[in-house]
Each structure stands twice: as C-alpha cells, then as structure tokens.
Amino acid sequence: MEVILTGTGSPLPDANRAGPSTLVKAGETQILVDAGRGVVMRMAGAGSLPGLLAGVLVTHLHSDHICALNDVITTHWVMSQGNATLQIYGPVGMAEFVDRQLHALEPDIGYRIEHHDVLTNPPKVDVTELVPGDSFALGEVQIATAATEHAPVRPTVGFRLEHDGRTAALVGDTVPCDGVDELAAGADVYVQTVLRRDIIELLPGEMAQDILDYHSGVVEAAQTAERVGAKRLALTHMVPAPTPEQYPEWIAIAAEHYSGEVIIGDDFTTITV
Ligand SMILES: [Zn+2]
Ligand SMILES: [Zn+2]
C-alpha cells in the first residue's frame, strides 16, 4: 500500500503545499481522503486521476478539506463521458454539500451536455453519510471509521484503511481521542494533521489562538503514536508550515515522545507500507 501525501497544506495559502488530501494506492484500488485546494493537479502529479478512484473519503466539512471536491466531481464526470459514478463517503452533511456543489455547477453541466453529443447526463455521484463505527469495503481495501473530535465541527470522522495485512490511519483534524487511538492502533502508518502549539501561542491575534483547542500538536500526535504503537507517524497539514531547514526540529520534538519513525510531509511524500 502506498500512502501519497497529495496535499500537506492548511487553510493558509502556500505555493508549495496543496490543500489537505491524501491518496492511497492499494493493489488496483485508489482512494482519496479529503479534497483540498489543488487536489486534482496533485493527483495528476501522483500518476492518478479522479476516474481511477474507487471512492473519496471526507473527514469533515471544513472548507480546506473539501474546497476542490467540485473539481474531482467535474473531472471524473467529463473524463468518464458521464458514464462512471463517483462514490463519496463523509460525515452527516456530506449529501447536502455535494447536492449544493452540483447546483453551483448547473450552468457548466448544461453547457457541456449541450456541446458534447456523447455527454447526455449530469455527474453521477453516490454519497454515503457515515455513522462513526461504520465499516465497508472499497475495491480491495477494507475501511473502518471512528468519531474524531474537532468541535465545533461536528460530526468528524477518521479512517483506517487495510489492504493485504497493512494498515493506514488517516484521521483528519482532531485532538487526541478514543477514536484516533482505535484507528491508529498498531497502524503501519498514522497520518495526523498537526500544529506547533509552542509557535502559535506566540502569535498575535485571537483567531490564531482559537485553532489551538481543536487540533493535535506535534507533541500530542507523537504521544498518540507511542501510546497506540503506530509504526510510523506522518505529519501533514502543518501549521505553521515548516521550511526544510526546520524539519529536524519538528522531528526532534516528536522523537521526545515517540520511538518510531517520524515523517514530515511534503506534497508527494510517499509512504510505502
Ligand atoms: Zn478542520
Ligand atoms: Zn484543516
């Protein structure tokens, strides 16, 4: 199984980091987790395309994680000439979000159907709203879900993907909680969105301080990884985004609490398990 960090950015615009998304390739099955800014470009860079996806899994409805889902839907639709159905799984609220996206795309959908004789129908999208604890299969991959904690964003859901005896936990934005522990337990790789609490506490402005109470810090992600015996910890969606010169410092902070391998994500970082 390959876990490709297709977007390691956050809401803060960054020329080198697309918005949050992760592509998993397992045998013949490809699954996208979240669809942040620039995701389709990054999928192309990773040798993938929306038409190759068995499904899209969404952790929560914060804009940075879903703002390019419309591009996934449209590209999937056009490149399949309207024939394929895109499977989308997400928390309660997902169906309405997708429905509203399709409404926003109505002019485009109309133009393309009018222009292309082979295109006769709007995008086919099948949305499943998950109750944490649900499990299901997509292609060759078995997927387990659990509730995460990112209040006031509710509900939020994390995923554990299993293929050929290998597991990857992709949990989205969350503070440490039982759901994350469950998903990351013994995982071959645990991917966690993180911030640097010690840096953000020094920043001016109330909005910067607000983000502290609903994200995992590097320390907490490392503590979780150690507590549940995750084999690798991959950090993504880092706030503030470190420069490569700062990576050793981030790794050293995590290593104070975690004895496994720590990976600082760049766009296209690929973790093979
Ligand atoms: Zn969020
Ligand atoms: Zn986020």
- Compute the distance from residue 18 Cα to the ligand 1 centre, in Å: 15
Please report, for the chain, the start and end positions of each structural domain, with discontinuous segments joined by +: 2-267
Q: What's 2-267's CATH class?
A: alpha beta
Tens of pLDDT, residue by residue over 167-190, are 999 999 999 999 999 999 999 999
The pLDDT of residue 221 is above 90: yes
- For tokens 């068995």, what's the residue? 54
Mean pLDDT (the chain, rounded): 97
Q: Which of 64, 173, 188, 267 is catalytic?
A: 64
How far does Cα 32 stand from its chain's mean position? Answer: 7
Q: Is 64 designated active site?
A: yes
Write down the pTM of the prediction: 0.98
- Compute the distance from residue 116 Cα to the ligand 2 centre, in Å: 37
- Compute the distance from residue 215 Cα to the ligand 2 centre, in Å: 9
Sign of CA dihedral 134, 22, 34, 154: positive
- Residues around ligand 1, an ion, CB closer than 5 A: 62, 173
- Compute the distance from residue 60 Cα to the ligand 2 centre, in Å: 9
Tens of pLDDT, residue by residue over 65-82, are 999 999 999 999 999 999
